[in-house]
């Protein structure tokens, strides 16, 4: 949403051969539709192989082996629960939950999709739930409906969901991290601010929040929409601009006619001369993710950096740093954004490095990689050992495991031997910048 066009709701489907018949299944359910056990598989094998050729028997054996692999490896068998909290609201009156494989919950990751998208639309677009599943992170996917702000219609729904999550799964209010794509990120950011502004009236006390190419300044967003309509170049962008400005005007008027209301709704207002709503994020982990491919926007949309979402979000992070929040980060994606239908687009869930993001989320609670530093000192990863530096393993694998290297003849990191994996070593220490006269 916003400066990036609507995202098509597409899924990823695959095929598996079970016996002789192909079964179509959604890859994200990981055989949840296949309810079998070892005894039934053996019985099916005996019945099917009674009068079949050797070649067909081999195919059946391979299929049965694959089925047993999925069934015997819970790390590959996620179960998505649909929890209804409001029977009268079929669009936003429910949430989806994926409990971690261990059933031990260290963190709760809340994911919000883009404008008017469903919770189900999240799973084909990102592997965040997959990595969270094997890292003791409960995933909650919840939709906010056709909204771009955390207003009086959205906030009560989120409150209801979070109260249910706390009661149902026995988690604490301070175990939550909020994240959202596009408009979902805008809402997540403002909701996190509200939780800190009035902690007694909100059910959670989030440890962190992140946005994925989200517009963080709703007032400047209106100005972008006007420029997009005037350019009249990309049909997708122009149609979005006309549609969203119409909705905004119907609900709250224009920023010019109702600036005070928009100041309340927006997570950040760049033109303010003093700290705005972002001041409530001062003591929270904050990340903004962007695929900074300005050439794509120039070529495909005729938009300069002034019309990119990261223009405002980079200023947001800068002001948080000025306020003293050393956990505020602008994350320039290490990969190009692609949607599940194969479309190249910087405005995509896929710009997030899922393993690194989950490591960051876990670090918010455990304090990993966070060091107490003297005034005017900084922490930095280096490729050489500093005095009293801590060695960190950077593992890039689906499980997302990480940890400090143990000494010994065969170094180990997170339970994996160095000989089994490709490991990048970094040393994290503190250093004092040199002052030059």
- What are 200-226's pLDDT values in tens digits? 999 999 999 999 999 999 999 999 999
Q: Could you report the per-residue pLDDT of 393-409, keeping only the tens digit for each?
A: 333 333 333 333 333 33
Comparing CA positions, the residue from 136, 158, 137 lying closest to residue 147 is 158
Q: How far is CA 281 from CA 206, 220, 321, 374, in A?
A: 10, 20, 11, 22
Comparing CA positions, the residue from 110, 123, 142, 277 lying closest to residue 210 is 110
Assess contact for 117 and 135: CB atoms under 8 A.
no
Instruction: Tell me the pairing of strands 208-212 and 176-181.
Output: parallel
80-366: CATH topology is: Rossmann fold (3.40.50)
C-alpha to C-alpha distance for 300 and 5, rounded to whole angstroms: 12
Q: How far is CA 419 from CA 383, 396, 413, 424, in A?
A: 20, 15, 11, 12
Backbone angles phi, psi at 155, to 5 degrees: -55, -50
Residue with the larger pLDDT of the pair 68 and 268:
268
pLDDT score recorded for residue 14 = 31
Q: Could you report the per-residue pLDDT of 120-148, keeping only the tens digit for each?
A: 999 999 999 999 999 999 999 999 999 99
Using the 8-state DSSP alphabet, how is residue 307 labeled?
G
Q: Give the mean model confidence (pLDDT) for residues 189-208.
A: 98
Using the 8-state DSSP alphabet, how is residue 104 labeled?
-
Residues 6 or more apart whose Cβ sits within 8 Å of residue 141:
95, 96, 97, 110, 111, 112, 113, 119, 120, 122, 123, 129
For 362-428, the DSSP string reads: HHHHH-TT-----TT-EEEEESSPPTTPEEEEE--STT----PPPPSSS-EETTEETTTS--EEEEE
pLDDT at 368 over 80: no
Backbone angles phi, psi at 398, to 5 degrees: -60, -35
Using the 8-state DSSP alphabet, how is residue 344 labeled?
B
Assess contact for 52 and 60: CB atoms under 8 A.
yes
Q: Which residues, listed in sequence order, are joined to residue 417 by a DSSP beta bridge?
A: 412
């Amino acid at each position: 949403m916003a400066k990036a066009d609507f995202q098509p709701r597409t899924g990823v489907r695959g095929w598996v051969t079970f016996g002789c018949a192909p079964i179509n299944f959604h890859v994200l359910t990981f055989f949840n539709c296949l309810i079998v056990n070892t005894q039934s598989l053996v019985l099916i094998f005996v019945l099917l192989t009674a009068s079949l050729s050797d070649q067909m028997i081999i195919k059946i054996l391979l299929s049965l082996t694959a089925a047993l692999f999925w069934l015997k490896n819970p790390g590959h068998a996620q179960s998505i629960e649909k929890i209804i909290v409001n029977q009268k609201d079929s669009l936003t009156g429910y949430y989806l939950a994926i409990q971690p494989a261990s059933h031990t919950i260290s963190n709760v990751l809340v994911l919000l999709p883009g404008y008017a998208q469903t919770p189900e639309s999240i799973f084909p677009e990102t592997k965040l739930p997959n990595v969270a599943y094997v890292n003791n992170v409960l995933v909650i996917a919840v939709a906010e409906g056709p909204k771009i702000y955390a207003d009086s219609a959205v906030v009560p729904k989120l409150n209801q969901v979070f109260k249910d999550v706390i009661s149902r799964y026995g988690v604490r209010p301070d175990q939550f991290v909020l994240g959202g794509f596009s408009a979902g990120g805008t809402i997540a950011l403002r909701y996190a601010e509200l939780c800190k502004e009035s902690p007694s009236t909100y059910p959670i006390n989030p440890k962190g929040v992140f946005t994925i190419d989200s517009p963080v300044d709703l007032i400047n967003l209106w100005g972008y929409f006007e420029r997009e309509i005037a350019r009249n170049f990309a049909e997708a962008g122009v149609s979005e601009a006309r549609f969203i400005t119409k909705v905004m005007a119907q609900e709250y008027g224009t920023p010019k006619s109702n600036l005070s209301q928009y100041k309340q709704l927006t997570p950040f207002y760049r033109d303010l001369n003093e700290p705005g709503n972002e001041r409530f994020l001062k003591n929270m982990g904050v990340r903004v993710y962007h695929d900074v491919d300005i050439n794509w926007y120039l070529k495909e949309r005729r938009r300069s950096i002034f019309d990119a979402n990261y223009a405002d979000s980079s200023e947001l992070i800068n002001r948080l740093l000025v306020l003293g929040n050393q956990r505020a980060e602008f994350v320039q994606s290490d990969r190009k954004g692609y949607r599940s239908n194969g479309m190249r687009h910087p405005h995509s869930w896929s710009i997030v490095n899922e393993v690194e993001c989950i490591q960051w989320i876990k670090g918010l609670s455990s304090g990993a990689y966070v060091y107490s530093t003297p005034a005017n000192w900084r922490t930095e990863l280096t490729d050489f050992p500093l005095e009293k530096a801590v060695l960190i393993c950077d593992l890039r694998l689906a499980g997302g495991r990480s940890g400090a290297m143990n000494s010994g003849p065969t170094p180990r990191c997170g339970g994996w031997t160095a000989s089994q994996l490709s490991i990048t070593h970094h040393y994290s220490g503190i250093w004092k910048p040199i002052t030059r006269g």
